[in-house]
Amino acid sequence: MRSTRVLCLVGGILLAVGGLLCGGAFLADLASDPDGGADIGAGALLFVGQPLAYTGVVLLVVALVRSVRSADPPRR
């Protein structure tokens, strides 16, 4: 498997898992009581989900740059 494809695959998986965790945090925040206290569960999900999502985005951008650079220039 080419390294660009591996970067794209791993980046997509990390972005999907991070998005699911951040979505779970959003739902946990909506489902909690509006008592003004901190929702520790939602905070923990965001604490784990955001770095995963950011890492996935960075890997996808790196894969995109590598695939654009590896493309042959058009011939005239």
Residue 74 burial (CB count, 10 A): 5
pLDDT for residue 16 is more than 90: yes
Q: Contacts by 64-72 with C-beta closer than 8 Å and gap 24+?
A: 66/3, 66/4, 66/7, 67/4, 70/4
Mean pLDDT of all residues in the chain?
A: 87
- pLDDT higher than threshold 70 for residue 14: yes
**pLDDT confidence of 4, banded at 50, 70, 90?**
confident
The pLDDT of residue 32 is: 78
pTM of the model: 0.81
Task: Please answer whether residues 25 and 43 qualify as being in contact, where contact means their C-beta atoms are separated by less than 8 angstroms.
Answer: yes
Kindly indicate the confidence band of residue 1, based on its pLDDT and cuts at 50, 70 and 90. low
Backbone phi, then psi, for 3, in 5-degree steps?
-65, -30
